[in-house]
Chain A
Amino acid sequence: MQPLSRVTPATVDVLTCLIGSADATWGLLIIRDSGRPAGTVYPVLERLERSGWVESEWDDDDTRTGPRRRMYRLTSDGAEAARSTVRDFAARTPTIRTVEA
């Protein structure tokens, strides 16, 4: 896993969504829950995944038809680093957004 070269408020919002989810989360739900536009969330997820913080897979919902959903979850190392990152960011930025997980 590689450290993030920059941590933005949007990155923290996405990480917060992922921390709050016990299972893998659909990317579209992260967009909705973070309140960030897709144009922000997609690149953040890609950067997190490329850095090894997040892993993704296709959904295994056999009851659905059509294109598959892409599900994201934090890696074990990523979960630990994400909590630390969110905590540090909150300490530096008292007005951090609170996001429903």
Chain B
Amino acid sequence: MSRWPERWVRLAARLLPTHIRDRHREEWLTDLDGARELGIPASSIAVGALLFTATIDRSAPEISGVPLSVAARIHARRGIALILSAGVLAFGAYFGGTRVSFGSPSTTEAVLSFLASAIPALAVVAAIAGLIELWRAAFFASLLTKVCAALATVGVVSAPLAAIGGWFMVPLAFVSLFAASIVGVIVWAGSSRPAVPHHPTLDGAAPSARPRFPLWARLSALVMGSVIVTVAVVMPGFVALVALPAAMVTVLMLAVYTIRSRAVGNRPLCESLGIGVMALVLLLLVGVGAIDLLVLSPQWMAPGYSIEEIFAALSPADRTLGVVMIYIWIAFWSIAAFIYLVVAVVAVGSAAPSTHWMLVAGFATIAAMVFFQFWAGFSIGNSISDTLPPFTGGRHDIGALYGNVGQFALVAAIWGAIAPRRGGALRRAQGTEPGPQGTEPGPHRTEPRASGPETRPAGATYSQ
């Protein structure tokens, strides 16, 4: 008998949700064995298995292994994350401007050109996918989720209309998206956490299995974070230095708590490497951002001039203000990256913070760093473009790519913070994931035996 039907059957089983996979693999393999005896073509069984896999209702709780209430919140959180990601991408694409090239197109320019086309398209795809997820959640979820989905739909549809000239749509887009965000946060914070007991993390641990920061640490981090963001947004530059000591104290307090909880530390090597790489990337990005601000972008705005000539041409006031802004940015984010490195070193030997949240914090830091890098260079950039030919604003290609990195880092941070992951933790919690020693049970038995133990998800009528 050809091996192809068996291969197709195994493939079909492999594509099924984990906790029903073994059952159907064994059932179909048995049917393949008996097909010839009953005069049924083996290919018919294979096709049947493939059709079954392709048409099965994966959202059904008995199939997915996830209760409807949890599934609704998973869709809602994923939808909110997608809508926010679409907003970040669209915002960056809209305000990023177009690239002006003074020379022959380079590889970097080709990449930037591609990104300029791809990012808006990606934003549209994310927005549509986000709306679909929200409506999937709303289909079997609370009224609040339906309201969130409706508001988000109005906002997402009216925002591009506003951007292409329908000014009267701006208030509608703004209000509806703002309201959708508020409602979305209520849905997320108010009901999804207790309802998603297996909210997975990148390290595969359920929340209950990992240590939590005490209330004082979380509140102080929240307050200090808000202060830093508010001060930095309202008065970037000098005043940000005031928030820096407070931020350092907060982080050090968290680090102290982390050290005290290291008794439970057992982080896998790959996760430790991930945190280490993130710390190094942060330091690297500070360096790249500094070079862009001090060398690359000034020379890009004043081609043909040396960097000394460019700074010499500026008025003392412009030069001082511009350079100080850049040095403040370098100092602030060097310290932030260094703090992250310290926490990373501590975290490698402990269990808290989790790898998931360390990476989310890393991506969020990159996003903030890139955002403020633009503003740190704004003053000197204005001065150069007002003083030297060709009297135009802009930034070097590396700087433009830097902006894209920040955009994608913010998307990653949003995705990591909000969107749930139905990965290893959920499967482990259901007891259906193969063990680390490859203990997935084989379908064949060599000894005759009675029927195996039945496992059945709570509330499901679909037996294994």
Which A residues form the contact surface with B (CB < 8 A)?
Answer: 26-29, 31-32, 37-43, 46, 49-52, 55-70
Contacts and interface: CB of A to CB of B under 8 A. Distances in A.
A35 B30 CA distance: 19
Interface residues of B, number: 39
B44 interface: yes
Given A52-B461, A66-B33, A69-B30, A42 B38 contact: no
Interface string B46-64: 0111111001100010110
A65 B40 CA distance: 21
B51 A66 contact: no
Main secondary structure of the interface of A (DSSP, over half): mixed
B57 to A, nearest CB: 8
Interface in B261-292: none
19 contacts: A27-B31, A31-B44, A38-B44, A38-B48, A39-B44, A39-B50, A43-B51, A43-B55, A43-B56, A46-B52, A46-B462, A49-B462, A63-B448, A66-B33, A67-B30, A68-B445, A68-B451, A69-B27, A70-B27
A37 B38 contact: no
Given A38-B44, A43-B55, A49 B461 contact: yes
Given A38-B31, A50-B60, A65 B462 contact: no
Contact of A65 (B35, B51, B448): B448
Interface in B366-419: none
A38 B30 contact: no
Given A37-B47, A38-B47, A32 B39 contact: yes
Interface of B: 23, 26-27, 29-31, 33-35, 38-40, 44-45, 47-52, 55-56, 60, 62-63, 443-452, 454, 461-463
A16 to B, nearest CB: 18
A66 B454 CA distance: 18
Contacts of A37: 44, 47-48
Contacts of B62: 50
A7 B152 CA distance: 37
A70 B38 CA distance: 16
A20 B30 CA distance: 23
A50 to B, nearest CB: 5
B411 to A, nearest CB: 37
Given A62-B449, A67-B29, 16 more contacts: A26-B34, A27-B27, A28-B40, A31-B40, A32-B40, A37-B47, A38-B31, A38-B48, A38-B49, A46-B56, A49-B463, A55-B461, A58-B451, A66-B30, A66-B444, A67-B443
